[in-house]
Structures are given as C-alpha cells and as structure tokens.
Amino acid sequence: MNNTKRLEIFHRFHASNPEPKTELAYSSPFELLIAVLLSAQATDVSVNKATKELYKVANTPSQVLDLQLDGVVKYIRTIGLFNTKARNVIATCQILCDEHNGEVPDQRDALERLPGVGRKTANVVLNTAFRQLTMAVDTHIFRVSNRTGLAPAKTVLGVEKALLRFVPRDYLLDAHHWLILHGRYVCVARTPKCPECPINDLCDYKNKSRIGKNGKLESGLLRQNRGSEASSG
Ligand code: SF4
C-alpha cells in the first residue's frame, strides 16, 4: 500500500468520526488504567458494567486498597480471569500509592512495571489518558493492519512499529481508536463486511467478501477455498 492510500484511509476515518473515543468508561487516568487491565479477554461492555459499580465506592488507588482483595473480587467476578485480575489490581494500587503518590505515571517504564500491565496496556494509557503518540495493537488492529496492507507485519510489535512509521502524523494520536472500531464493527474477523466498508477501494485484501447470489454476505476465503477444491477435484 502506498502513502497516498494511507492518507486517504485516515482522511475518511476522520471525516466519519472526527473524535473517536475508547468504548471503556473512565473519568481519570486511574479509572482508565484499571479498566484496561480488566479488559484482557473480556468485552468493554462487561468491564464497564463492573467498573460502574466499583468506581462508585472506590476510584483511587487508596480507596481500592481499602476494599482489599475480596472486596475487589466482589465487583469484578463477572469478568473472565477475575481472581488474577483482582490480585493485579491490588498489587498495582499498592505500587501507585507507595511509589507514585497515588497517581498513574505517564512513562512507559513505570507503567510496565505495574502488575498486569504489559506493553499494550501501557500504550493505551499513554495514548488515551496522556495523549502521547503511542500505538496499542490488539487483535483487531493486528488483523486490519495486515489485511488492508496498511502496516503488515508478522508480530504485534512489528505492526506497532509499522503503524508508527506509516500512519500520517496528523492522524497518529487517534489512529488506535479508528482502527479498533473499524476492526470491531466492519473488518470483523470471520467475514469482513467489505461491501459496506468505507475504505473498500483503498484496501489491498485479496479475499474481500461480497454479496452472493442468495443476497447474503459471502466470505472471500470460503469462495477461494471452494475454487481450489473444484480445481483440485
Ligand atoms: S474491504 Fe474488507 S478486508 Fe478491506 S478493510 Fe474493508 S472490511 Fe476489511
């Protein structure tokens, strides 16, 4: 994919959604950090449901510490891996209180030292709460970057670096949110909604889905597999 196409892709994302936002509910860097930490292998909807009640009683590190482990578990037990996540939340709050005056640090090294916080979570917090030019790559962004040809790479870190290099600078701050939303609702994993995709003409994916004779969306991969079966049989 060339840079003219890349620019046009983000131009269109921006035109249709000038201020993209995370779907996680939060009102402070701390609330965002905990929400992202809880969101691993869980939907944003399930995290928001849990944090809505949790943050009513505790939305600072010291208040969460006051709840203790059992108290945190009570609020997040509807989320996958809640036991491990609750332990990480408590340990993270302890470090925030002991080493950062109860504040969320705005440096990658310090964030990645927090239990349960990896590179992706640190990137989300740096980008969304502190408006730094970082790129968190989740499963949706990894897929979209490779399918479209926007920033192809074999590894998550490779895609992160390619996006940082290829996304036009004016759009870098919001690129993470646009790409997540695009992957979540249009360029979905199994059968991407290519016929209604706003960047269809710019996308390099070879197996675009299309509307079949029966009027239903037909996966390009399935079509291709059928073709190769027919030619080999
Ligand atoms: S055309 Fe299809 S594969 Fe390409 S970005 Fe759009 S939905 Fe994804």
- CATH number, domain at 9? 1.10.1670.10
Q: Say if ligand 1 is within 6 A of residue 208 CB.
A: yes
Question: What is the pLDDT, as a whole number, of residue 229?
Answer: 63
Is there a single domain that holds both residue 171 and residue 140?
Answer: yes
pLDDT values of the chain reduced to their tens digit, one per residue, 233 residues: 999 999 999 999 999 999 998 989 999 999 999 999 999 889 999 999 999 999 999 999 999 999 999 999 999 999 989 999 999 999 999 999 999 999 999 999 999 999 999 999 999 999 999 999 999 999 999 999 999 999 999 999 999 999 999 999 999 999 999 999 999 999 999 999 999 999 999 999 999 999 988 888 888 877 777 766 666 55
Is there a single domain that holds both residue 121 and residue 181?
Answer: no
Question: What is the pLDDT, as a whole number, of residue 38?
Answer: 96
Is there a single domain that holds both residue 43 and residue 120?
Answer: yes
Q: Say if ligand 1 is within 6 A of residue 194 CB.
A: yes
Is there a single domain that holds both residue 96 and residue 164?
Answer: no
Q: Say if ligand 1 is within 6 A of residue 147 CB.
A: yes
Question: What is the pLDDT, as a whole number, of residue 176?
Answer: 92
Kind plus residue range of the DSSP H or E element containing 114: none
Measured in Å, residue 109 CA sits from the centre of ligand 1 at: 35
Is there a single domain that holds both residue 112 and residue 152?
Answer: no
Is there a single domain that holds both residue 49 and residue 123?
Answer: yes
Q: Say if ligand 1 is within 6 A of residue 199 CB.
A: yes
Domain count, the chain: 3
CATH code for position 122: 1.10.340.30
Q: Say if ligand 1 is within 6 A of residue 86 CB.
A: no
Is there a single domain that holds both residue 205 and residue 226?
Answer: yes
Helix (H, G, I), strand (E, B) or coil at 218: strand
Measured in Å, residue 130 CA sits from the centre of ligand 1 at: 31
Ligand 1 atom showing the smallest separation from residue 194 Cα: 2
Is there a single domain that holds both residue 84 and residue 142?
Answer: no
Is there a single domain that holds both residue 66 and residue 105?
Answer: yes
Question: What is the pLDDT, as a whole number, of residue 224?
Answer: 73
Mutate to test the pocket of ligand 1, among 8, 16, 147 (most ligand atoms within 8 A of CB): 147
Kind plus residue range of the DSSP H or E element containing 220: helix 220-232
Is there a single domain that holds both residue 40 and residue 124?
Answer: yes
Which of 111, 128, 145 represents a domain boundary (last residue)? 128
Measured in Å, residue 136 CA sits from the centre of ligand 1 at: 20
Is there a single domain that holds both residue 109 and residue 144?
Answer: no
Q: What is the span of the domain harbouring residue 211? A: 194-232
Is there a single domain that holds both residue 98 and residue 47?
Answer: yes
Measured in Å, residue 188 CA sits from the centre of ligand 1 at: 8
Question: What is the pLDDT, as a whole number, of residue 102?
Answer: 96
Indicate which residues carry an active-site annotation.
Answer: 120, 138
Question: What is the pLDDT, as a whole number, of residue 231?
Answer: 60
Question: What is the pLDDT, as a whole number, of residue 222?
Answer: 75
Could you write out the DSSP letters of every residue in 47-95?
A: HHHHHHHHHHH--SHHHHHHHHHHHHHHHHTTSTTHHHHHHHHHHHHHH
